[in-house]
Amino acid sequence: FIVELEDVGDVIEKIRIGHDNRGTNPGWHLDRVEIRRQLRKGKGSETTIFPCECWLAKSEEDGETVRELVASDIITQKLLRDGTLKTTETEVEDALETHMYKVTVRTGDMFGAGTDANVFLTIYGDLGDTGERKLAKSENNKNKFERG
């Protein structure tokens, strides 16, 4: 896919990829994403690798259809003056880490306090934010957001 986007800076640290869970078999096992940025004046390219190696599927693993991926490697190809292409591969140092968070919500105990709507959460911190996340699977409640 070729997409023209606004410049996000010299280093792409993280991406968010997902699907809308539509179609006959919407589950998708994603190995990795590679994003190649053309260097100025046709002097080569820089490819950032984002490994995933998991399912984006309601019916597989954790049931998530959206993943946040952090960069693992950068492959740079530069066109030298003699016309040859020099390739270097660099492992991303200080890559963003992913963490598992346990979220507990308590619905009020008044009549009509519960909801059947989809509930979303975004966590903000000094390193950025998680993006909108659906609270989909409850550890102990089949009817997740009922009163009490």
Phi, psi of 77 (to 5 degrees): -120, 120
Quick one: 103 and 79 in the same domain?
A: no
pLDDT at 96 over 70: no
pTM: 0.68
Quick one: 86 and 113 in the same domain?
A: no
Q: Residues 9-19: pLDDT tens digits?
A: 778 888 889 99
Quick one: 24 and 92 in the same domain?
A: yes
| Predicted pLDDT of residue 53 | 94
| Predicted pLDDT of residue 111 | 87
SS3 per-residue string spanning the chain: CCCCCCCCCCCCCEEEEECCCCCCCCCEEEEEEEEEEECHHHCEEEEEEEEEEEEECCCCCCCCCEEEEECCEEEEEEECCCCCEEEEEEECCCCCCCCCCCCCCCCCCCCCCCCCCCCEECCEECCEECCCEECCCCCCCCCCCCCC
Q: In total, how many domains does the chain have?
A: 2
Question: Where in the sequence is the domain holding 114, given as residue range(s)?
Answer: 99-148
| Predicted pLDDT of residue 31 | 95
Quick one: 93 and 103 in the same domain?
A: no
| Predicted pLDDT of residue 43 | 84
Quick one: 104 and 80 in the same domain?
A: no
Quick one: 112 and 62 in the same domain?
A: no
Q: Which of residues 62, 81, 97 is at a domain's end? A: 97
Quick one: 34 and 84 in the same domain?
A: yes
Report percent pLDDT > 90 for the chain.
26
Quick one: 84 and 140 in the same domain?
A: no
On the 0-12 / 13-18 / 19+ scale of CB atoms within 10 A, 105 is: exposed
Q: Residues 112-132: pLDDT tens digits?
A: 787 888 888 888 777 777 778
Quick one: 71 and 123 in the same domain?
A: no
Q: Residues 40-83: pLDDT tens digits?
A: 877 889 999 999 999 999 888 888 899 989 899 999 999 888 98
88: CATH: 2.60.60
Quick one: 22 and 80 in the same domain?
A: yes
| Predicted pLDDT of residue 78 | 92
With CA atoms as reference, report the closest residue to 12 among 30, 37, 31, 29: 37
| Predicted pLDDT of residue 87 | 94
Quick one: 91 and 114 in the same domain?
A: no
